[in-house]
Amino acid sequence: MKIAKVSERMLKLTIVLSLPSGAIVGWQADRLRRKFLDWRKEQLQSKLGETQKKLGLA
């Protein structure tokens, strides 16, 4: 197996670009997760309200 020679400049550039891109991807993933959790909370609260109405009518 051959290991390709990578210049020091290219290595530094790769590291400098990978850190911000990883932070952006993580930030976006957290935003999506929070949106999903908010949506799920609304769904569960709606189901709870319906169940409470049914129990109140029974």
**Residue with token string 């908010």:** 38
49 occurs within a structural domain: yes
46 occurs within a structural domain: yes
Q: Supply the pLDDT for residue 44.
A: 98
pLDDT along the chain (58 residues), means of 10: 78 93 97 98 96 83
CA distances from 52 to 25, 45, 49, 57 (A): 40, 10, 5, 9
Q: Supply the pLDDT for residue 56.
A: 87
Count the domains in the chain: 1
55 occurs within a structural domain: yes
20 occurs within a structural domain: no
Q: Supply the pLDDT for residue 1.
A: 60
- Range(s) of the domain holding residue 45: 33-58
